[in-house]
């Protein structure tokens, strides 16, 4: 079972901001009901107050629906809710007309109290919500201006002075404009968060693409010249063989030698690509995390460790760093390398980890936690892939949450001989 509130912790940062924004718009509707409808009970009779409260509640419900659909439209999930916006405009007009009728025919004094508040407030909230479904500054101003003009025109049946009508229209324009600007700013902030998240994902993909280009470039540099020489010498051997010249054998022997040398060079390139030097990976992790706005502290020294140990632990650092960027919401990451009792211990700890259910972390809990992803998958990634690499050097791996929102990954590898010296702090 999920813990209470687990649905929130499992959301990504953009999803959390979107949920907050959506419920903020819904909260505006709740404010409308309480500010315009519920308060009418203290300013007029119970029957009339009930009518006004029901009208405001119906208007608020339509506002919530329009706000939700408009938010989906801005995220590209739904078409523009044009019909719903017209419905909201019509409902706002109907509620305002009813409020005017109640103020005109109802008991004396209610035009300044309950009905008057509903009249102006409904138009303000309606204008602010409809602007969520339009694009462009001019259209937003046009919507708010239309509601303000409508507010002024609807006051003429009440016999209000022209100056009072103009003041009321101005109040609707200012208040509705404020609500519109506030709503649009919330949408801008949400879109900015999504854009930053997309940029973060793009940065990770570019890093992978850059590594592939590096490998292709190295392979081309190694093989390009050798393959050209092999092609030329093979052609020469063919010509010599056709002429019955004994030098053809020597040329083919040279081709064989170059081919064998090329095989060795390719193995060296692939080995260098697949092996990860711990010192290089520690420096790279610090740089990448800092560039992503994450406070990275790297403590320890990798020099002097055997090559196979550095390679295994280097892969741990590489996988952990990559998945902190992709899956976590970390603000701080601490990487520590230390030697103790003939073993080298690597620890990667980050905050911002999503929590699992009440039964605790599963084998695949590394991915949402943000330290290592795809734990349950085979191959060369995730916890399973790291355990395979560490097992080649008799190493072990432990991973799991150690506190609220904190995830820790610990890799231990035995050393051929006792390591001397304590770990030295490397500035982050």
Sheet with 332-340: strands ordered across: 396-403, 406-414, 343-350, 332-340, 295-299, 425-426
**Matching residue, tokens 């209610």:** 110
Same domain, 15 and 158: yes
* Better-scored residue on pLDDT, 360 or 316: 316
- Domain span at residue 187? 6-199
Same domain, 392 and 267: no
**Res 310 pLDDT > 50:** yes
For 40-97, what is each residue's pLDDT tens digit? 776 666 777 788 888 888 888 999 999 999 888 988 888 988 899 999 888 888 888 7
Cα angle, residue 178 at apex, residues 175 and 182 outer, rounded to 5°: 145
The DSSP code sequence of 206-234 is HHHHHHHHHHHHHHHHHHHHHHHHHHHHH
Q: Is residue 127 part of a domain?
A: yes
**Res 11 pLDDT > 70:** yes
User: Are the C-beta atoms of 69 and 133 separated by less than 8 Å?
Assistant: yes
User: Are the C-beta atoms of 152 and 166 separated by less than 8 Å?
Assistant: yes
Q: Is residue 1 part of a domain?
A: no
Q: Nearest-CA neighbor of 95 among 64, 125, 66?
A: 125
- Measure CA 258 to chain center: 50
d(CA 56, CA 49): 10
Give the mean pLDDT of 127-143. 86
Handedness of CA 337, 340, 343, 345 (dihedral sign): negative
Structural domain ending residue among the three candidates 148, 173, 199: 199
Q: How many Cβ atoms from other residues are within 10 Å of residue 24's Cβ? A: 13
pLDDT at 138: 86
Structural domain ending residue among the three candidates 246, 274, 302: 274
Same domain, 191 and 95: yes
Same domain, 282 and 240: no
Q: How many Cβ atoms from other residues are within 10 Å of residue 335's Cβ? A: 26
Q: Nearest-CA neighbor of 95 among 140, 36, 144, 41?
A: 36
**Res 422 pLDDT > 60:** no
Same domain, 56 and 169: yes
Band of pLDDT at residue 346, cut at 50, 70 and 90: very high
Q: How many Cβ atoms from other residues are within 10 Å of residue 76's Cβ? A: 7
d(CA 425, CA 301): 8
Same domain, 265 and 249: yes
Q: Is residue 132 part of a domain?
A: yes
What are the CB-based long-range contacts (under 8 Å, 24+) for 373-379? Answer: 373/319, 373/322, 373/323, 373/326, 373/327, 374/323, 375/399
Q: Is residue 268 part of a domain?
A: yes
**Matching residue, tokens 């602007």:** 131
- Measure CA 40 to chain center: 44
Please, what's the b/e burial string for 221-240 (b: 16 or more CB within 10 A of its CB; e: otherwise)? ebeeebeeebeebeebbeeb
Query: Looking at the 3D structure of the chain, how many domains does it have?
Result: 3
Q: Is residue 89 part of a domain?
A: yes
Residue 393 sits in a domain whose CATH number is 3.30.565.10
Q: Is residue 384 part of a domain?
A: yes
Same domain, 22 and 170: yes
Same domain, 174 and 256: no
Q: How many Cβ atoms from other residues are within 10 Å of residue 394's Cβ? A: 11
User: Are the C-beta atoms of 126 and 89 separated by less than 8 Å?
Assistant: yes
* Better-scored residue on pLDDT, 157 or 252: 252
Same domain, 385 and 420: yes
Same domain, 352 and 406: yes
The DSSP code sequence of 104-143 is HHSSTTGGGTHHHHHHHHHHHHHHHHHGGG--SHHHHHHH
Looking at mean pLDDT, say which of 12-26, 104-118, 219-233, 381-395 comes out highest. Answer: 12-26
pLDDT at 412: 92
Looking at mean pLDDT, say which of 125-139, 146-160, 293-307, 361-375 comes out highest. Answer: 125-139
**pTM for this entry:** 0.52
Q: Is residue 318 part of a domain?
A: yes
Same domain, 143 and 268: no
Query: What percent of the chain shows pLDDT beyond 90?
Result: 6
Q: How many Cβ atoms from other residues are within 10 Å of residue 62's Cβ? A: 21
Residue 254 sits in a domain whose CATH number is 1.20.5
Same domain, 214 and 351: no
Q: Is residue 145 part of a domain?
A: yes
Structural domain ending residue among the three candidates 224, 240, 274: 274
């Amino acid at each position: 079972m999920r813990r209470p509130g687990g649905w929130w912790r499992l959301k990504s940062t953009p999803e959390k901001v979107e949920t907050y924004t959506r419920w903020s718009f819904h909260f505006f509707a709740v404010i409308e009901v309480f500010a315009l409808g519920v308060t009418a009970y203290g300013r007029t009779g119970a029957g009339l107050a009930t009518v006004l409260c029901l009208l405001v509640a119906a208007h608020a419900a339509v506002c919530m629906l329009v706000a939700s659909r408009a938010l989906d439209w801005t995220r590209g999930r739904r078409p523009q809710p044009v019909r719903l916006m017209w419905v909201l405009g019509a409902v706002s007009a109907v509620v305002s007309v009813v409020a005017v009728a109640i103020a005109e025919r109802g008991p004396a004094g209610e035009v300044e109290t309950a009905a008057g508040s509903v009249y102006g407030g409904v138009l303000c909230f309606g204008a602010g919500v409809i602007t969520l479904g339009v694009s462009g500054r001019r259209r937003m101003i046009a919507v708010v201006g239309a509601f303000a003009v409508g507010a002024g025109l609807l006051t003429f049946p009440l016999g209000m002075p022209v100056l009072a009508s103009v003041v009321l229209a101005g109040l609707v324009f200012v208040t509705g404009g404020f609500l519109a600007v506030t709503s649009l700013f919330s949408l801008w902030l949400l879109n900015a968060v999504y854009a930053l998240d997309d940029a973060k994902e793009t940065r990770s993909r570019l890093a992978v693409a850059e590594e592939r280009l590096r490998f292709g470039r190295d392979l081309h540099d190694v093989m390009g010249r050798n393959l050209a020489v092999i092609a030329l010498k093979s052609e020469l051997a063919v010509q010599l063989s056709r002429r019955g010249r004994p030098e053809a054998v020597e040329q083919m022997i040279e081709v064989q030698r170059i081919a064998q040398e090329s095989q060795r060079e390719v193995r060296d390139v692939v080995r260098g690509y697949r092996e990860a030097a711990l010192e290089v990976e520690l420096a790279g992790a610090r740089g990448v995390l800092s560039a992503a706005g994450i406070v990275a502290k790297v403590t320890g020294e990798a020099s002097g460790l055997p090559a196979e140990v550095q390679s295994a632990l280097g892969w741990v650092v590489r996988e952990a760093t990559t998945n902190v960027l992709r899956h976590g919401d970390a603000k701080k990451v601490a990487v520590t390398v230390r030697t103790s009792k003939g073993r080298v211990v690597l620890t990667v700890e980050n905050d911002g980890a999503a929590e699992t259910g009440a039964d605790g972390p599963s084998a695949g809990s590394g991915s949402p936690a943000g330290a290592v992803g795809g734990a349950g998958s085979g191959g060369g990634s995730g916890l399973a892939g790291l355990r395979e690499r560490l097992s080649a050097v008799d190493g072990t791996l432990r991973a799991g949450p150690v506190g609220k929102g904190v995830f820790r990954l610990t890799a231990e590898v035995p050393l051929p001989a006792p390591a001397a010296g304590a770990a030295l702090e490397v500035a982050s």
